[in-house]
Amino acid sequence: MSDNHTPRALGEWPEGFRSGFTSFVGRPNAGKSTLTNALVGQKVAITSAKPQTTRHTIRGIVHREDAQLVLVDTPGLHRPRTLLGQRLNDLVAETLSEVDAIGFCLPANEKIGPGDRFIATQLAQLQRKPIVAIVTKADLVDREALAAQLIAVTELGNQNFGPNGFAAIVPVSAVKEFQVQEVADVLVQQMPAGPPLYPDGELTDEPEAKMIAELVREAALEGVRDELPHSLAVVVEEMVPREGRSENNPLVDIHVSLYVERSSQKAIVIGRGGSRLREVGTNARKGIEKLLGTKVYLDLHVKVAKDWQRDPKQLGRLGF
Ligand SMILES: Nc1nc2c(ncn2[C@@H]2O[C@H](COP(=O)(O)OP(=O)(O)OP(=O)(O)O)[C@@H](O)[C@H]2O)c(=O)[nH]1
């Protein structure tokens, strides 16, 4: 978000870094897109276009010194009235599996209506998912009206999410840039600890590949982080939808290379008889399937690339 932070490579991140996915919901015109743009800025807007492999679109990424927030679209909760029954429940369940927190946008200048209440009841089904209420367009009302709306929103939260209500309530004006930073702050507070999911500031049309690489890397480091300090790089070589699958049951073949520096490290990653690598594959696959919303066949190959960290050519190939 800020213009003056130092670019950082994947693989290096400060203590206490948080990262995760969030999504804005709210009825049409609630100010979701404007807020997204205000948070992300023009510079790093990212679009993801892979309809056959993913059902959500990445709207943008907030890069901060202490966190990375990936803003994703959740189609369906935007226009609740056109969706009914099972379909909606599926979408809600999908949202549940994909994001770490939800920003529920409610305009300051409009009374809470049936559309908002409908969304609230749907969100209430997402147990233990933090919901942050964002009172948008705060510049359009005076202080008194804003205070009244904050009280009404608090009540909506208590009615739908039990006595604790919303995880937080923040007024904002994306247009006047009032409290935009605070919106980012409260969402970041809801994110789990973890590494950046994307390279800092990079524009890419293949964000999934980066996230998949990171999921594999995390799974491969699990439990052996000390033995493989900075010696593991992961590259997604290929992602192809499996041919001949029905539209309702797609499968994506993903081929991934894991680069280590020494054969002793290769042995650690693979484990006895390949047992560890199988576990790494299973764990990474679960995360990838959540991310893409489809079944995945994950093929992992461990390779030794000597001194890759010091070789610019290799580093380039590994996406650093
Ligand atoms: N005054 C003011 N207007 C805003 C603010 N945020 C959004 N708007 C206006 O509200 C209208 C709707 O904003 P969007 O960001 O497109 O709303 P949305 O929720 O993405 O709408 P859908 O795409 O229909 O779901 C636009 O005309 C915006 O300019 C704000 O903070 N202040």
pLDDT in tens, 246-288: 878 888 889 998 988 888 999 999 999 999 999 999 999 998 8
Whose Cα sits closest to atom 32 in ligand 1? 137
162 is in an annotated binding site: no
pLDDT at 37: 82
pLDDT tens digits for range 173-229: 999 999 999 999 999 999 999 887 776 544 334 567 777 888 898 899 888 888 886
CATH architecture of 18-189: 3-Layer(aba) Sandwich (3.40)
Q: Which of 24, 25, 27, 29 to mutate to test the pocket of ligand 1 (most atoms within 8 A of CB)?
A: 29
**ipTM greater than cut 0.85:** yes
Domain-by-domain residue ranges, the chain?
Answer: 18-189, 207-317
pLDDT at 92: 57
From the CB of 109, is ligand 1 less than 6 Å away? no
Which range, of 110-119, 195-204, 211-220, 302-311, averages the lowest pLDDT? Answer: 195-204
Q: What's the pTM?
A: 0.62
From the CB of 174, is ligand 1 less than 6 Å away? yes
Q: DSSP letters along the chain, please?
A: --SSPPP--TT---TT-EEEEEEEE-STTSSHHHHHHHHHTTTT------TTT-S--EEEEEE-SSEEEEEE--TTSSSGGG--HHHHHHHHHHHHHH-SEEEEEEETTS---HHHHHHHHHHHTSTT--EEEEEE-GGGS-HHHHHHHHHHHHHHHHHHH-TT--SEEEE-BTTTTBSHHHHHHHHHHTSPB---SS-TT---S-HHHHHHHHHHHHHHHTTTTTTSSS--EEEEEEEEEPTT--TTS-EEEEEEEEEESSHHHHHHHH-GGGHHHHHHHHHHHHHHHHHHSSEEEEEEEEEE-TTGGG-HHHHHHTT-
Ligand 1 nearest-atom number relative to CA 78: 25
From the CB of 181, is ligand 1 less than 6 Å away? no
pLDDT tens digits for range 31-55: 988 898 888 864 333 333 332 223 4
CATH architecture of 207-317: 2-Layer Sandwich (3.30)
pLDDT at 208: 73
Whose Cα sits closest to atom 12 in ligand 1? 29
CA of 145 to the centre of ligand 1 (A): 19
